[in-house]
Structure 1
Amino acid sequence: MYHSISTGRNLFLALLLIISLSVIFPEEIIAQQEQQGSQLDEDVRRKFDYYFYGALNAKSLGKYAEAMDLFQHCYALDSTNANVSVELGTFYNVLQEKDKALDFFRRSVRYDPANYYYNMMLAGLSKELGLKQEVIDIYIHLSQLYPEKLDIRFELANAFAESGDFQKAIDVLTELEKNTGINEMIALNKFRLYSMMNEKEKAFDEIRQIIEKNPSEQKYLILMGDLYLEDSKRDKALEYYDRAKVIDPDNPALILSMVNYYEKTNDKQAAQAELQKAVTNSSIEVDVKLQLLTRYLSILQQSKQDMKQVNSLFETLFEQHPNNSQLNMIYGNVLLLQENKEGAAEQFRIYTKANPEDPAGYEQLLRIALPEEDMEKIKEVTIEALKHLPQEPQFYFYLGAAHYQQENKKEALKVFEEGLANAIFRNPIVESDFHGQIGDLNYSLGNKEVAFESYEKALKLNPQNLPVLNNYSYYLSLEKRDLDKAEQMSGITVKVEPMNPTYLDTYGWVLYEQGSYTLARMYIEQAIQYSKGEPSPDVLEHYGDVLFKTGDKEKAIEQWKKAKEAGGGSATLKKKIKTGKL
């Protein structure tokens, strides 16, 4: 009974279905097998055929481990069989055992040297392994066997080029050209090779041949101009662009080449004029215009010119293409650059109406509303977005955050929970943030155990979620439970962000609850030092508490009073100030 290989290989072997040779040419395998099998004695041949056809059947059914074992039995019976060798080579190649695969592919070619597919598979793996001379030898061998297969000549030329022998590569292409005549692919390859040899005139001669053969083909003239421009021969480039203009001055490829030419010659005004003329040309397709328009806007930005000069251009485009909402999206972004937020929002609203299932329009509207902290606008945009895009988590997040900001905690909690239930999370970090928000909301609503469960889920998805690590550790310290765990979590936050006053205060407070008052004072003082503006009432009260514990009672009362004046603090703050004690 044969032994099955480990199931861990099956993930790799599943790929074999699309690349296995028996799928590509089963008739050839069977015919070759019959020919090769005739060389075995009758008893061995019967066993070999039994295992071989069993292997092909197992492979066709997706039983790759079984197939590989059966092919190995075949190999034990006849190690000279090319079919078996190439099958085993294919298996080992997929399993990333490249040396074994190479050995089996070499065997398949040794025992069936005229087989085109076996040679090509050996060439492909040899190329992957950097065996340059072997690749050359294989393609020379194949080009002699199959002179009608012109793609082999290209591969041979590439193999010579890869090995650094550019002249031999050119010689192969020149010989090929005798069979095919002058064509674009060969000429461009020879241009590239001559350029690598720094024989520029010979390189350009290759393109001239194509132009002479196709004098009315504008694309070759543009190509020649582009190549001369890349070579910094601007006069020559312009000569070919001018010849191309005679054929079709409105060709978008020519316009882009001319823009590139004007940019390289530092003639920004000419570049703009070229683009402006093209964008307003009614004969040019709108998709091409959008490409040109984007380029035009890029030039204006780079040269720091007034973006308002394009507004009239957009008016023309809207007249020509009233139903193209992509123009609204582009114009909205342009108006944002002009700091015209109201006008930009109007364009984005038009875009979302035309494309309700594209999140981009809603995201741009949020981009305007978020800095203004316009919670009602944020809610309006996200509610509309979720009607059409219930799978997008960002809209639940912003809607929930807006409710949270307005102290609508139960509504915020509902939104975040709906997000977890309905959204598609492509990133565990985003999903972790949802659990973090749910934890914060539940804690503030008094559901402490549910909050801690949510924090655990958040950290399982993203162990480095700093806001969750901070809040979880702080709330544990307030509950005076799991303080070692709280100290460990809070310690991560201050290590990652050692100047974050919130994280420093939390770490100091956890240390305080552990009884490490001197260390706690040090961290809370750092929290005050790094606070932007006046520290929060909680930080000031914490500082007072730790000062009291370290023996500085007068200064402690002073900090408690500051906390009260700042408008916050704990329920016991007034009693601390009145009694002068914790």
Structure 2
Amino acid sequence: MSKCKYPILFLIVFVLGINNIFAQTASAVVTESLSLDDQRKFDYYFYNAMNSKSIEQYGATYDYLQYCMKIDSTNASVLFELGNFFNSIQNKDEAYTYYKKAANYDPDNFYYNMALAASYAERQEYKDAAAIYQKLINLNTSKIELYMYLSEVYRLDGDLNNSIQALNDLERTMGMNEKITIQKFKLYSALNDKKKAYAEVQKYIDKYPQEIRYYILLGNLYLQDGKTKEAYVALTKAKSIDPEDPYLITSMANYYQTIDDQPKAEAELRAALFSAKTDIDTKIGILSQYIGILQQNKQDLAPANALLDSLMIEFPQEAKFNLLYGNLLMVQDKKKEANFQYRVYAESDPTNPVGWEQLLQSTDVDSIDALIDVCKSAIVYLPEEPLFYFYLSVGEYQKKEFKQALQTLNRGIGFAENNPRLLSEFYGQKGSIYYELKQQDSAFIEFDKSLKYNPQNLGVLNNYSYYLSLTHKDLDRAENMSSITIKAEPTNPTYLDTYGWILFMQGAYTTAKIYLENAVKYSEEKEKEISAEVLEHYGDVLYMTDDKENAVIYWQKAKEKGSESKTLDKKIETKTFIAPNPIK
């Protein structure tokens, strides 16, 4: 049997619940031209759909909405809810289709139009999005968020003047606002109109001459613009108002850093960080801002390391510094050192999942035992956090402890019920385990469940399609699923190999060769170790495209990689392709 394909150890699980961003205001759904019997059925299914949604049973929600669609496919409420469902699982094309239909059937509905405008923006169809937002503003002049959305889509479309105009209209509606001012400053700067840019900030100083934050803001903007003399004047004025303001201290340190006066920069920071008057959270804020400035300016992070070392000596009981230091070390690609800091933080506050999650991120991918140890420790203190059960099962799976991995998933899956994307990962992992246990039918059932919660789960689509190809059945379905993965990641060697192999099994040898050749190519370009499977598959397609000499070379390379193929030795010996038997 060929080796199974499974997600890498540290795949990122994006925790995304299905949130209905635009709540409906209608209390009932009214359909037209339905018989009394159909209306009753429709109301029953829609009520159950909304009830399932309220208790976060999203699979049932989808099923009930499909029943509604069979009765009335033009109902805007149903179309909108289906759009929300697909949007939540990142199937943006389907979401857009349903939102557009909903807005077409109910063109004045605020929520449907908001969803459609957001979809237009995601598709980079900014003019269409702007038209909708402008229409909604005309109907809802007091909804301030509409002006912000309109300004943003104009900006994304490169129409900076109209972007500014939308913000000006917003200011007339709600009055002066700092966030609006900062955005207008950026837009004027992008238009190279510095005079108007700085005038936006100056109007706050003129109105509130004793408010320190506006001088700090002006100073920071001057620094970003390379105007160090003007920055110093603004920051000096701020210092005359409150010399101990923590944000002023950070800005002054940034100023000295900018003019290459490192001793004064550190002196400014130390004055605040080691002051008894500055609380821990403020110290953390100052340091975080300082680190951000160093990163933004692409400066050496060593001064931040030194400050954190000193702070942890001065305040050994404050584990928040360990968390911050761990984050800083991760940025510097010092995972081993970061791991130590995260462990200190996790053990100091063991019921906080952040420390354990960071420990997972910093654990060496080759250290399966360390991964398992972190997950088991986290579960002791956080027995209802599903993420740790999932990663524990991944570690057990890697150690080929399949039955134990399955038990772990079954223990944790109930805690993931409100998270469809994580549920998809659980079921996908169960599918891979059942396959390893030679329970093929159960594996495919779990894969189907996984894709129900997230039809775009690339790892599951790849595994499922590959396993189907090994059975020599449902090749059209396998090809369809695999094609989704290569559209999403066209240079992923594993996905290319799967798709190429399915095409090979369909007899499309010339096309298969293109994809399998790319699987080899991108493995080499990404300095990723080429698997024995990829090499053997490439040898197979070379043979079937009349390149028998090179086919044998690649079969031999596959053997050197430790292939477990039952036909490989015979192929090399006879220099002839031997089709694998279907797995049952």
Q: TM-score, normalised on structure 2?
A: 0.58
CA distance in 2, matches of 1:474, 1:205: 63
Instruction: Check whether the contact 1:429–1:461 (CA below 8 A) recurs between aligned residues.
Output: yes
CA distance in 1, matches of 2:523, 2:481: 21
Render the CA deviation track for 1:71-105: whole Å, top value 9, x for unaligned. Answer: xxxxxxxxxxxxxxxxxxxxx9x96499xxxxxxx
Instruction: Check whether the contact 1:332–1:344 (CA below 8 A) recurs between aligned residues.
Output: yes
Matches of residues 146-165 of structure 1 in structure 2 within 5 Å?
Answer: 162=169
How far residue 528 of structure 1 moved from its aligned partner, in angstroms, is 3.6
Is residue 2:288 matched to residue 1:294?
Answer: yes
Distance 1:572 1:325, change over 3 A: same
Match of 2:398 in 1: 405
Distance 1:433 1:235, change over 3 A: closer
Distance 1:277 1:413, change over 3 A: same
CA distance in 2, matches of 1:201, 1:572: 76
CA distance in 2, matches of 1:508, 1:199: 55
Q: What amino acid maps onto 1:420 in structure 2?
A: I
Match of 1:249 in 2: 243
Pick the structure with greater CA Rg: 1
Q: What amino acid maps onto 2:348 in structure 1?
A: A
Aligned with 1:566 (options 561, 564, 582): 561
CA distance in 1, matches of 2:200, 2:379: 62
Q: In structure 1, the residue corresponding to 2:364 is in which secondary structure?
A: helix
CA distance in 2, matches of 1:227, 1:440: 57
Matches of residues 11-160 of structure 1 in structure 2 within 5 Å?
Answer: 11-13=24-26, 96=110, 125-127=140-142
Instruction: Check whether the contact 1:563–1:569 (CA below 8 A) recurs between aligned residues.
Output: no
Is residue 2:469 matched to residue 1:477?
Answer: yes
Distance 1:429 1:96, change over 3 A: closer
Render the CA deviation track for 1:367-404: whole Å, top value 9, x for unaligned. Answer: 32134x21111111111112223343332232222222
Instruction: Check whether the contact 2:220–2:251 (CA below 8 A) recurs between aligned residues.
Output: no
Match of 1:369 in 2: 363
Match of 2:495 in 1: 503
Q: What amino acid maps onto 2:267 in structure 1?
A: A
Give ranges in structure 1 of 5+ residues lacking alignment.
Answer: 1-8, 16-91, 99-122, 133-160, 174-184, 212-218
Match of 1:393 in 2: 386
CA distance in 2, matches of 1:476, 1:268: 62
Distance 1:415 1:204, change over 3 A: closer
Distance 1:268 1:492, change over 3 A: same
CA distance in 2, matches of 1:486, 1:466: 13
Match of 1:539 in 2: 534
Instruction: Check whether the contact 2:416–2:422 (CA below 8 A) recurs between aligned residues.
Output: no
Q: What amino acid maps onto 2:460 in structure 1?
A: V
Instruction: Check whether the contact 1:359–1:389 (CA below 8 A) recurs between aligned residues.
Output: yes
How far residue 502 of structure 1 moved from its aligned partner, in angstroms, is 2.9
Q: In structure 2, the residue corresponding to 1:323 is in which secondary structure?
A: coil
Is residue 2:266 matched to residue 1:272?
Answer: yes
Q: What amino acid maps onto 1:502 in structure 2?
A: T
Aligned with 1:450 (options 442, 445, 454): 442
User: Higher helix proportion, which one?
Assistant: 1
Match of 1:354 in 2: 348
How far residue 357 of structure 1 moved from its aligned partner, in angstroms, is 2.2
Distance 1:254 1:408, change over 3 A: same
Distance 1:353 1:265, change over 3 A: same
Match of 1:50 in 2: none
How far residue 522 of structure 1 moved from its aligned partner, in angstroms, is 4.6
Q: TM-score, normalised on structure 1?
A: 0.58
Instruction: Check whether the contact 1:544–1:558 (CA below 8 A) recurs between aligned residues.
Output: yes
CA distance in 2, matches of 1:321, 1:335: 19
Q: In structure 2, the residue corresponding to 1:467 is in which secondary structure?
A: helix
Is residue 2:427 matched to residue 1:435?
Answer: yes
How far residue 258 of structure 1 moved from its aligned partner, in angstroms, is 3.7
CA distance in 2, matches of 1:198, 1:513: 65
Distance 1:310 1:468, change over 3 A: closer
How far residue 230 of structure 1 moved from its aligned partner, in angstroms, is 5.7
Q: In structure 2, the residue corresponding to 1:407 is in which secondary structure?
A: coil
Instruction: Check whether the contact 1:382–1:399 (CA below 8 A) recurs between aligned residues.
Output: yes
Q: What amino acid maps onto 1:281 in structure 2?
A: S
Instruction: Check whether the contact 1:225–1:241 (CA below 8 A) recurs between aligned residues.
Output: yes
Instruction: Check whether the contact 2:218–2:234 (CA below 8 A) recurs between aligned residues.
Output: no
CA distance in 2, matches of 1:576, 1:289: 67
Instruction: Check whether the contact 1:357–1:388 (CA below 8 A) recurs between aligned residues.
Output: yes
Distance 1:303 1:277, change over 3 A: farther
How far residue 517 of structure 1 moved from its aligned partner, in angstroms, is 4.1
How far residue 558 of structure 1 moved from its aligned partner, in angstroms, is 5.0
Q: In structure 1, the residue corresponding to 2:363 is in which secondary structure?
A: helix
Match of 2:480 in 1: 488
Matches of residues 522-533 of structure 1 in structure 2 within 5 Å?
Answer: 522-532=514-524
How far residue 531 of structure 1 moved from its aligned partner, in angstroms, is 3.7
Q: What amino acid maps onto 2:358 in structure 1?
A: Q
Match of 1:281 in 2: 275
Distance 1:423 1:255, change over 3 A: same
CA distance in 2, matches of 1:517, 1:209: 74
Render the CA deviation track for 1:417-468: whole Å, top value 9, x for unaligned. Answer: 3332233553x33322222222122112100000111111122222222332
Q: In structure 1, the residue corresponding to 2:275 is in which secondary structure?
A: coil
Answer with 550-559 or 473-482: which moved more.
550-559
Answer with 430-439 or 518-527: which moved more.
518-527
Distance 1:405 1:262, change over 3 A: same
Distance 1:300 1:238, change over 3 A: closer
Distance 1:351 1:261, change over 3 A: same
How far residue 358 of structure 1 moved from its aligned partner, in angstroms, is 1.9
Q: How many corresponding residue pairs?
A: 417
Match of 1:462 in 2: 454
Match of 2:4 in 1: none
Answer with 561-570 or 256-265: which moved more.
256-265
- Structure with the bigger RCO (C-alpha within 8 Å, sep 6+) is 2
Render the CA deviation track for 1:519-566: whole Å, top value 9, x for unaligned. Answer: 444543443444427753333433444455556666555544443333
Distance 1:208 1:387, change over 3 A: same
How far residue 246 of structure 1 moved from its aligned partner, in angstroms, is 6.2
Distance 1:272 1:474, change over 3 A: same
CA distance in 1, matches of 2:204, 2:497: 72
CA distance in 2, matches of 1:457, 1:547: 37
CA distance in 1, matches of 2:200, 2:539: 84
How far residue 129 of structure 1 moved from its aligned partner, in angstroms, is 11
Q: In structure 1, the residue corresponding to 2:405 is in which secondary structure?
A: helix
Render the CA deviation track for 1:496-528: whole Å, top value 9, x for unaligned. Answer: 444433333333332333344444445434434
Q: What amino acid maps onto 2:280 in structure 1?
A: V
Aligned with 1:384 (options 377, 389, 397): 377
Give ranges in structure 2 of 5+ residues lacking alignment.
Answer: 1-21, 29-105, 113-137, 148-167, 186-193, 579-584
Aligned with 1:324 (options 312, 318, 322): 318
CA distance in 2, matches of 1:522, 1:242: 65
Distance 1:389 1:127, change over 3 A: same
How far residue 337 of structure 1 moved from its aligned partner, in angstroms, is 5.3
Distance 1:124 1:441, change over 3 A: closer
Q: What amino acid maps onto 1:439 in structure 2?
A: G
Distance 1:518 1:304, change over 3 A: closer
RMSD of the alignment, in Å? 5.0
CA distance in 1, matches of 2:482, 2:204: 68
Distance 1:518 1:390, change over 3 A: same
Q: What amino acid maps onto 1:493 in structure 2?
A: T
